[in-house]
Chain A
Amino acid sequence: MSAAHQRQLPLDLRLRDTSRFAGFYPGGNRLARDAVAALAVGSARTEPQILLHGPAGVGKTHLLQAACHQGHERGEPVAYLPLAELAAAPPLAVLDGLERARLVALDDLDAVIGKGDWDEALFGLLNRLRDAGCRVLLAAVAAPDGLASPLPDLTSRLAWGPVFRMQAPEEDDLKRILAQRAALRGLELPESVADYLLRHYRRDLVALLQLLDRLDLAALAEQRRLTIPFVRDQLARP
């Protein structure tokens, strides 16, 4: 069996794991998770709009994807927009007709706010979504005021519903998440190695998970286990 083939299964598992509520490690974000999960199923007591903010790696995208997945399971059309990737496209074209979905998730708002026609187009979209009774999830690095949109009309609409600041995972949380993700790949990550990673690499979950991908691949290629010398050696490589 080729190495590439062996990798297929765990990689697939990981992808799904990062897009389900069940795979979300709440840490300090239990409230945000519960609120988003309630919005995803459109339960009567929830708000039609929620904004999550915080730096990369705190789980915003995970919650947005999980909500879309959940909405889809309920048989609703949903739309997830990674705005950072769509920033170069014409805003009106990208946002046209989205009120046809029942749940719309706009990720990376900060990547487009203040750029060209995006603010006005987003303002128009939020109005249409609200008029159409569509549920809305928003994610950005900062709270509405901190995003500094030149359009106050947009800023105030971003704050229409509850705003949650996502907490960065504590070191213990990070270690637990890393161990869990490693286990999903069939890798054993000893606590000492996890400690080493946190001390010598960034305490940023996105970066750590990417590193784990790299280590996974290298461990497989070199038929090694995750030990401190092995990891140190890998980190030293470009």
Chain B
Amino acid sequence: MSANTLWTACLDRLQGKVSEQQLNTWLRPLHAEESEGTLRLLAPNQFVFEHVRDHLLNAIEGTVNELQPAEGGCQVRLGIGGAEWPQEAVASRRERPAAAEPRRATPRPQGPVSNLNPAFTFDTFVEGKSNQLARAASLQVAENPGVAYNPLFIYGGVGLGKTHLMHAIGHSILARHPEGRIIYLHSERFVADMIKALQHNAIDEFKQHYRSADALLIDDIQFFAGKERSQEEFFHTFNALLEGQQQIILTSDRYPKEVEGLEERLKSRFGWGLTIAIEPPELETRVAILQRKAEQAGIELPSEVAFFMGKRIRSNIRELEGSLRRVIANAHFTGKPITLDFAKDALRDLLAVQNKLITLENIQKTVADYYRVKVADLLSTRRSRSIARPRQIAMALAKELTQHSLPEIGQAFGGRDHTTVLHACRKIAELREADASLDEDYSNLLRTLSS
């Protein structure tokens, strides 16, 4: 990339003319290639291409010609495409010719390189009651691909390890048959590829590509719902693979028959092999997963912390891992050891508490409900204790929970002066020290508002 001296110089010069956001949104995504007399700029997609062409191309050309005022100047050509990047999980991205008008690539022939995630193997899969059946079935398929169970349909909620098992089967097949062609993709990729193939009269290559797989792994099949043309195409691919005893593995967030918007004939075929559920992991498995992940990251995770996290984050494994990453990041950047308090502190940002947007109206309503008074009373000029105290509490909460200024808060409470708000805040702070029941009320309200 560093060879792009002209483009780099051009961007440097444009920094003074367009905003940083424009640079980051429209210009820095462009991939540049220079050859004599031509600067080819490749946009990642049509949308960026059009914006640059319509709004920025003149500025780019002007700048380039300022930099290279040689005879004939330098021609700027805009296209769509991108670079090869080394991490070839992206075996899919062949460079596209830049043209004055964007062209789309046809589905690319894929070499023996697979795009399986190297981390997703059977060895790294943590087994528990919730997933042991799915794991056992996956092992069988891995040993006898195309024969044991075809298709293998794994279903379960988000983030429970369906993709992990699918990739593990792929790795295992490759280990036995290194020349095998394993294609893994999300269903929406299949849809997008098919649309592109249709646009470019390349549907035969498309068919050939998918039908030549020794194993075809499609994730989240529920996103085929309502896409009839893709279902039709997939139906034929499916049949061809099955006939050729090529393995098909599918995942979905629900039982095949329950996927709405999916053709009946597909649903019934999905059931021809083995359909197996993967359940949310129970606490022990969640804890085991955390400990295994921590070990892999080379981190000491005390078991009380693992249990705390396992108890708090029940939804799925992806979020469990995300929260572990947050704890690890905190440890890494602060250099502190991971203790229970440390983990609680790190996870506060993830757990939804305090994440809602809190408005002044919301505070007034919540406080009014709590004390069984009317919002109108809080805003009125009435000064009886039963109204004034809740009003002061509401003001103090507003100061604590919002970014409004004192005059703004005063304004929102029936046009009071900012000194009144200031007085309320001080008064409540004092009372919370002296009066346990008021302190409890305040804490309750704080909790209600921020959860």
Contact = CB atoms under 8 A, between A and B. Distances in A.
Contacts of B85: 100, 102, 132-133
Nearest to B158: A156
Nearest to B418: A199
Nearest to B116: A131
A172 interface: no
Nearest to B399: A203
Of residues A77, A94, A101, A203, which shows the largest number of chain B Cβ atoms within 10 Å of its Cβ?
A: A77
Q: Chain B's interface: helix, strand, loop or mixed, by majority?
A: loop
Interface string B326-346: 101110111000000000000
Interface in B186-217: 186, 188-189, 192
Contacts of B245: none
Interface stretch (B43-51, B58-66, B383-391): B43-51
B87 interface: yes
B376 interface: no
Contacts of A161: 322, 325-326
A218 to B, nearest CB: 20
Interface stretch (A120-128, A177-185, A186-194, A222-230): A120-128
A200 B405 contact: yes
Of residues B2, B23, B157, B192, which shows the largest number of chain A Cβ atoms within 10 Å of its Cβ?
A: B23
A68 B25 CA distance: 9
A131 B114 CA distance: 11
A152 B223 contact: no
A198 B220 CA distance: 51
A160 B318 contact: yes
A44 B82 CA distance: 24
Interface stretch (B127-135, B271-279, B348-356): B348-356
A152 B24 contact: no
Contacts of A78: 24, 28-29
B1 interface: yes
Q: Range of interface residues on chain B? A: 35 or more
A35 B47 CA distance: 31
Nearest to B1: A75
Contacts of A120: 188, 223
A65 B322 contact: no
A99 B89 CA distance: 12
A153 B158 contact: yes
B93 A100 contact: yes
A176 interface: no
Contact of B44 (A71, A100, A141, A145): A100
Contacts of A200: 405, 407, 418
Interface in B288-333: 315-316, 318-319, 321-323, 325-326, 328-330, 332-333
Contacts of B333: 30-31, 34-35, 38
B359 to A, nearest CB: 11
B349 A96 contact: no
A35 B334 CA distance: 11
A46 B97 CA distance: 35
Of residues A46, A82, A156, A204, which shows the largest number of chain B Cβ atoms within 10 Å of its Cβ?
A: A156
Interface in B205-244: 219-220, 223
B90 interface: yes
Contact of B24 (A79, A96, A100): A79
B439 interface: no
A163 interface: yes
Contacts of A142: 352, 355-357
Nearest to B222: A153
A115 interface: no
15 contacts: A15-B20, A18-B20, A47-B325, A77-B28, A79-B24, A93-B47, A105-B24, A124-B192, A127-B186, A132-B89, A160-B318, A162-B322, A163-B350, A165-B354, A202-B408
Given A35-B329, A55-B357, A146-B355, 9 more contacts: A45-B332, A76-B1, A77-B44, A79-B28, A98-B29, A100-B85, A132-B89, A142-B352, A156-B316
